[in-house]
Amino acid sequence: MGGTGDAGRPPEPVRSDWPLYEVFLRGKRGLNHVHVGSLHAADPQMALHHARDLYTRRNEGVSIWVVAARDITASSPDEKDPFFDPSGDKVYRHPTFYDIPDDVPHM
Amino acid sequence: MTTAPTSGQNGAGPELPAGFEDTIRRGRRIEPRDWMPDAYRSTLVRQIAQHAHSEIIGMQPEGNWITRAPSLRRKAVLIAKVQDEAGHGMYLYSAAETLGADRADLTGMLISGRQKYSSIFNYPTLSYADVGVIGWLVDGAAICNQVPLCRSSYGPYARAMVRICKEESFHQRQGYELLMTMMRGSAAQRAMVQDATDRFWWPSLMMFGPPDDQSPHTAQSMAWGVKRHTNDDLRQRFVDMTVPQAEKLGVTLPDPLLRWNEARGHYDFGPVDWAEFKAVVSGNGPCNTQRMAHRKRAHDDGAWVREAAAAHAAKARRPA
């Protein structure tokens, strides 16, 4: 479905014109859109149609986003990335940091 | 997400392989942009591509019967099933692309015969009972193979497998129900079910791949968590699951050596014809040529559609 061109032939110019789209689904009202996979399409409208056919054959979604993969900016995947350091030492952002006696109600 | 992968060995400091090993050891998932050994990446690309190709080629044996389904109900079911196979292929190509593979290259490698697909799809479907037996045995074997892959160490593959396994359950059940219906029919219909079972039983056992002592990559694949059980373990599990289903259905599995082994707690079964398996895998099965020719024709016949859509998109992007 995605792209053309035999490996045996030089690649056709058409091929690069079917860019990769990432697909995000809202499973039902009240939930966030969640990434489910990717597909190739000639344009965003076709990407939506393909996403519907590919990722919602059994009512898995009530709303679809498609985003050209090349437009996504991502952080580095490394868990120990210094990018995330600023939140590493701020335990006081969590409720459990504060000692409150057990007999204080509704806390 | 399908963003550019970090490259393998090149420029990797010692902390990167250690991080990879640690993630595997802790049973956590490797994600697309993580550092990974080149051999892990290439093993996965090969595994996922072969799986994707199998889903795509797997549309043909059953698609063959869509125009001759015996009722509208059966036709709707069969179309839905074949559509699912296409969808499974797409999920898997999508997963392979997260490893840096190019989808068009993978299709090219299938069509030029440089990548393989499951040998089972090189057998012909001679009667409508085959549609039922494929759902029962072939999809049953596929489920056995695939459920453990939902825990593959590679995240995108594992997630694709979760989706696929959910849908495969429908495939197996529609097949078994079809066979139960035929077994309640005429003697001729029962004979068709038996004949289809006779033809697909052994090829289904071959779907798990060569015996463990002839499967050199198993140890490394298990260490990496891209394979969870050995071929022989999965084959045994499939036999144990299937024998009671065959009894309930009222068909005989074509193996005179098949019997319960109390001591082992498993069914014993006869030797698989690995010479046949090798012949089919290397291109000499009954339908290899036909399957590849059909796939190539579909690809070539679709070229104008891909080109027209690309031309339309380019035109729409240009300011008027």
Instruction: Dump pLDDT digits (tens) for A64-107.
Output: 999 999 999 988 766 567 788 888 788 899 999 999 999 999 88
Of A1, A20, A53, the CB nearest to B97: A20
**Six-digit token string for A70:** 């090349």
Report yes or no: B17 at the A interface, CB cutoff 8 Å.
no
* Chain B residue at shortest CA distance from A58: B167
Q: Are B13 and B7 in contact (CB under 8 A)?
A: no
* CB pair distance less than 8 Å for B312 and A20: no
CB contacts < 8 A, A to B, total 98
pTM, 2 dp: 0.90
Closest CA in chain B for residue A13 = B307
B263 at A interface, C-beta within 8 A? no
> Is A57–B307 a contact, with Cβ atoms under 8 angstroms apart?
no
H helices present in B58-102, as ranges: 59-63, 72-97
Chain B residue with CA closest to A6: the answer is: B108
Q: Does the distance separating the beta carbons of B104 and A15 come in below 8 Å? A: yes
| DSSP letter for each residue of B284-298 | ISSSHHHHHHHHHHH
| Chain A residues lying within 8 Å of B109, measured CB to CB | 7
Rounded to whole angstroms, the Cα distance separating A48 from A25 reads 11
pLDDT on residue A2: 37
CB A23 within 8 A of CB A64: yes
Cβ pair A5:B114 closer than 8 A? no
Interface test with B, best of A9, A14, A58 (most B CBs within 10 A): A14
Instruction: Quote the pLDDT of residue A10.
Output: 39
Q: Report the alpha-carbon distance of residue A75 to residue A73 in Å, rounded.
A: 7
| B2 touches A67 (CB < 8 A) | no
Q: Mind listing the pLDDT tens digit of every residue in chain B (320 residues)?
A: 565 544 444 445 678 889 899 999 999 999 998 999 999 999 999 999 999 999 999 999 999 999 999 999 999 999 999 999 999 999 999 999 999 999 999 999 999 999 999 999 999 999 999 999 999 999 999 999 999 999 999 999 999 999 999 999 899 999 999 999 999 999 999 999 999 999 999 999 999 999 999 988 899 999 999 999 999 999 999 999 999 999 999 999 999 999 999 999 999 999 999 999 999 999 999 999 999 999 999 999 999 999 999 999 999 888 76
Instruction: Answer for the pair B181, B119: CB distance below 8 angstroms, yes or no.
Output: no
Chain B residues whose CB is inside 8 A of the A59 CB are none
Of B83, B95, B309, the CB nearest to A57: B83
* Partner-chain contact B93 A2, CB within 8 Å: yes
Residues 60-89 of B with CB under 8 A from A: 80, 83-84, 86-87
Name the one residue in this structure whose structure tokens are 């806390």. A107
The pLDDT value recorded for residue A87 is 82
ipTM value of the model? 0.88
Q: Does B109 touch chain A (CB under 8 A)?
A: yes
Residue B152 makes CB contacts below 8 A (sequence gap 6+) with B158, B161, B225, B226, B228
**Stretch 182-211 of chain B: residues touching chain A, C-beta under 8 Å:** none
User: Do the Cβ atoms of B3 and A15 come within 8 Å?
Assistant: no
- Establish if B114 touches chain A: CB-CB under 8 angstroms: yes
Cα four-point dihedral sign B100, B92, A15, B61: positive
Element (H, E) at B313: helix B303-317
- Measured from the Cβ of residue B36, the count of other Cβ atoms closer than 10 Å reads 27
